[in-house]
Structure 1
Amino acid sequence: MSAARPVSPVAADVRVETRTEEGLTATARAAIGPGEPVFTGHYPDFPIFPGVCVLECVRRAATDGSAAPHPARLAAVESARFAGAVYPGDTLSLSLTWRRTAGGLRCDATAATERGRTATVRLRFAYPGDTR
């Protein structure tokens, strides 16, 4: 029996493009096409990519095995601040910076389109077996 595939509201492919050798920074991109399922019900006459979907793109980039510096599980979204809208046809550029903490890893991320920053996000990750 295969493992269940995670459910996501985002159809876009989130691709990790670069990662530093020490694994503490990475960049990723996601092309947000007009066919994203969330555009159907999120302001039908003026579609905007919901903030939770921007968070999902950051989470997917951060948990991609080619981006994360160490196997870890998402423990918390510590903060998220949204600064601009993402529209159909935009490319979401993600920049992730990792740092080790006493309890695991912290990932500080920014999301931007060609118009500028859309969000800043801080995620906390725990090492496998840590129940925090």
Structure 2
Amino acid sequence: MTRERPCSPVSARIKVLRPPSVGDGGRVGATATVAIGADEAVFPGHYPGFPIFPGVCLIECVHLSGLQAPPPGAPRLELAAVETTRFLSPVFPGDQLEIDLAWTGGDGTWKCAATVATVRGSAAKVRLRFNEEAA
């Protein structure tokens, strides 16, 4: 499923590795991956000489992953809020992100708790809230 991306600071493409499915305890989970190329437009100005992928771009990767891997049966979603974010380690050019999504909610509002990791371990924990778009 391809979703429209009208404006984003991230040019990397999201690939869903594990589509949303119901797991233990009725929790809905999914996994996506993103290859962070050295050609991302945000790198030149974010610590010149020592490029680090900006935290806001990690949030955007979770947002885009959520749009590509929404909960089963959910209509089109839109981001309503960034509830919490914790950055744990830097992301560098060439890193491969693995994003694990855990969905809860329904009835018009969905919460997405995500863990973002690289080969070095956890890079961020992000919680987003989405609303179902009106038809």
Provide TM-score, normalisation by structure 1.
Answer: 0.87
Query: Distance in 2 between the 1:96 and 1:21 partners?
Result: 11
| Residue ranges of structure 2 left out of the alignment (5+ in a row) | none
8 Å contact from structure 2 (residues 16, 31) kept in 1: yes
User: How far does residue 22 in structure 1 lie from its aligned partner after superposition?
Assistant: 3.4
**Structure 2 residue 94 is the aligned partner of structure 1 residue 89:** yes
Deviations 1:52-108 (A, max 9, x none): 0001100000011xx101122211110111000000110011000001156511100
Which secondary structure state, in structure 2, belongs to the residue aligned with residue 38 of structure 1? coil
Which secondary structure state, in structure 1, belongs to the residue aligned with residue 93 of structure 2? coil
Which secondary structure state, in structure 2, belongs to the residue aligned with residue 37 of structure 1? coil
Identity %: 51
- One-letter amino acid of the structure 1 residue matched with residue 51 of structure 2: P
Query: Distance in 2 between the 1:103 and 1:42 partners?
Result: 37
2:113 to 108, 111, 130: 108
**Structure 2 residue 66 is the aligned partner of structure 1 residue 62:** yes
> For residue 45 of structure 2, what is the aligned residue in structure 1?
41
Query: Distance in 2 between the 1:26 and 1:33 partners?
Result: 23
- One-letter amino acid of the structure 1 residue matched with residue 60 of structure 2: E
**Structure 2 residue 9 is the aligned partner of structure 1 residue 9:** yes
Provide TM-score, normalisation by structure 2.
Answer: 0.85
Aligned residues between the structures: 125
Which secondary structure state, in structure 2, belongs to the residue aligned with residue 53 of structure 1? helix
Deviations 1:3-56 (A, max 9, x none): x84111111111111024338110000000111111111111000000000011
| Residue ranges of structure 1 left out of the alignment (5+ in a row) | none
- One-letter amino acid of the structure 1 residue matched with residue 70 of structure 2: A
2:129 to 118, 124, 131: 124
Query: Distance in 1 between the 2:17 and 2:60 partners?
Result: 17
> For residue 85 of structure 2, what is the aligned residue in structure 1?
80
User: How far does residue 126 in structure 1 lie from its aligned partner after superposition?
Assistant: 1.5
